[in-house]
């Protein structure tokens, strides 16, 4: 693949909108039940896509597989000195389009009805690969898949076994990532750590199992020295909140990634409190409280199509609160009981 790694040069006077065909390369990947075709004249951007989505299990739903197209365009490096951190993404929508804008040189425009998106980035954003991947490219992938497949998007993690899964819900900092890590280390299938997408009719859940983000202090509870070395050698990313985490590539670890969408057997709200009785970490959420707790935990998803059907079906499966035990493996044991 011989492409310009820096930017797409064109005559701005004769083609101000950059509409003329350019020499591009296509990269196709099956992600979250959809076939995604990424097109770009930039080897650097396609390499970033490959880093994010190569080697994932090819999840499928029991329906026709839709096709999605994402064009990635790299602009020249900006003359002004780059900021230590890219500006936050501002959301806009109208006329059937959805936009996420960092600045005039870094943005994404989506046309969900046409199953297409344009991602534009300046060359200096390549110095911030986490933000470029997570806030622009992944934003396009997740939004197109959600709209094109009719999925409910959740801020959650999910693990399971033998085709059944448990949603891990709760606010940031309650330990969802740590619990997902220990579930993986103790033999459960890993579906996703931060974003889960559910088909409301079937309660089949999918996600992107590429990275696990772990705080340094969580490694103290990891007994396996080899796992500590694997995570400790991973790059460190910095969230918008200022929290720093290791970004460990799950495709190079020793755990098992869910080979297909998981049928949800229930959900747990991960709680930061330690249980008084270490043998009783799980507590059923009263049926009358489930709907309100789910809405409070998922303010964006609860306004999306399919939410009411999803919430009713999940409530019938069972929703629990999970407190901490003496060791994270105790919480994994509790999850396994829900999967039996």
Answer yes or no: do 193 and 98 share one domain. Answer: no
Nearest CA-CA partner of 308 in 289, 285, 287, 291: 291
From CA 236, how far away is CA 130, in angstroms rounded? 10
- The answer to whether residues 335 and 236 belong to one domain is yes
Tens digits of per-residue pLDDT, 146-182? Answer: 999 999 999 999 999 999 999 999 988 778 888 999 9
For residue 7, pLDDT over 60 is answered with no
Last residue of a domain, one of 149, 177, 199: 149
Give a yes or no: residue 290 inside a domain.
Answer: yes
In a domain, 52, yes or no: yes
Same domain, 141 and 207: no
Q: How many domains does the chain have?
A: 2
Pair 101, 134 in one domain: yes
Range of the domain at 94: 25-149
Say whether both 290 and 246 belong to one domain.
yes
What is the per-residue pLDDT for 157?
96
Could you tell me if residue 74 is inside a domain? yes
For residues 225 and 168, membership in a common domain is answered with: yes
Residue 21 pLDDT exceeds 80: no
> Above 90 in pLDDT, residue 328?
no
Does an H or E element contain 322, and which?
strand 319-324
**Are residues 125 and 236 located together in one domain of the fold?**
no
- The answer to whether residues 145 and 159 belong to one domain is no
- Residue 305 has which token pair? 């199509």
User: Is residue 2 included in any domain, yes or no?
Assistant: no
List for the chain the helix, strand, coil content (%; round to 5): 30, 35, 35
Give the pTM.
Answer: 0.92
Distance, in Å, from the CA atom of 43 to the CA atom of 24, rounded to the nearest integer, reads 9
**One domain, residues 176 and 309:** yes
Residue 63 within any structural domain of the chain: yes
Residue 7 is assigned to a structural domain of this protein: no
Q: How much is the average pLDDT of 184-195?
A: 95
* Contact of 250 with 190, CB cutoff 8 Å: yes
Single out the residue in 149, 177, 196 at which a domain terminates. Answer: 149
Residues 267 and 286 in one domain: yes
pLDDT band at 2 (very low <50, low <70, confident <90, very high): very low
Q: Which of 107, 127, 149 is the last residue of a domain?
A: 149
| The two structure tokens encoding residue 340 | 């039996």
Same domain, 95 and 120: yes
pLDDT per residue as tens digits for the range 64-101: 899 999 999 999 988 776 677 899 999 999 999 999 99
Closest CA to 141 of 34, 238, 241: 34
Given a contact cutoff of 8 angstroms between Cβ atoms, the answer to whether 74 and 7 are in contact is: yes
Closest CA to 264 of 151, 188, 165: 165
Instruction: Please report whether residue 3 resides in a domain.
Output: no
Instruction: Give the DSSP H or E segment for 53.
Output: helix 43-53
Run of H or E residues at 50: helix 43-53
Q: Are 72 and 24 in contact (CB under 8 A)?
A: no
197, 146 Cβ separation under 8 angstroms:
yes
Residue 130 lies in a domain: yes
Residues 61 and 178 in one domain: no
């Amino acid at each position: 693949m011989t492409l310009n790694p820096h930017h797409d040069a064109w005559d701005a006077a004769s083609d101000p909108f950059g509409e003329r065909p350019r020499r591009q390369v296509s990269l196709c990947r099956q992600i979250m039940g959809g076939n995604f075709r990424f097109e770009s004249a930039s080897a650097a951007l396609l390499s970033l896509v490959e880093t994010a989505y190569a080697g994932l299990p090819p999840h499928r739903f029991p329906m026709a597989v839709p096709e999605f197209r994402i064009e990635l365009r790299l602009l020249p490096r900006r003359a002004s000195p780059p900021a230590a951190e890219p500006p936050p993404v501002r959301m806009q929508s109208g006329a059937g389009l959805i936009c996420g804008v960092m600045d005039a040189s870094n943005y994404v425009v989506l046309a969900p009805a046409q199953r297409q998106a344009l991602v534009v980035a300046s060359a200096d954003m390549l110095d911030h690969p986490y933000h470029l991947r997570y806030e622009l490219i992944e934003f396009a992938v997740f939004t197109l898949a959600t709209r094109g497949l009719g999925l409910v998007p959740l801020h959650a993690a999910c693990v399971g076994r033998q085709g059944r899964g448990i949603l891990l819900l709760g606010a940031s900092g309650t330990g969802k990532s740590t619990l997902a890590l220990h579930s993986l280390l103790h033999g459960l299938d890993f579906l996703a750590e931060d974003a889960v997408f559910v088909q409301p009719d079937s309660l089949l859940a999918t996600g992107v199992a590429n990275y696990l983000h772990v705080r340094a202090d969580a490694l103290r509870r990891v007994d396996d020295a080899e796992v500590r070395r694997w995570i400790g050698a991973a790059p460190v990313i910095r969230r918008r909140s200022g929290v720093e985490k290791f970004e460990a590539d799950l495709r190079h670890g020793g755990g098992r990634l869910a080979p297909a969408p998981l049928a949800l057997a229930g959900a747990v709200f991960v709680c930061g409190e330690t249980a008084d009785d270490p043998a009783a970490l799980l507590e059923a959420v009263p049926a009358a409280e489930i709907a309100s707790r789910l809405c409070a935990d998922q303010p964006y998803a609860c306004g999306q199509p399919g939410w009411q059907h999803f919430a009713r079906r999940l409530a019938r499966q069972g929703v629990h609160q999970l407190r901490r035990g003496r060791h994270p493996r105790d919480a994994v044991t509790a999850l396994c009981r829900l999967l039996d």
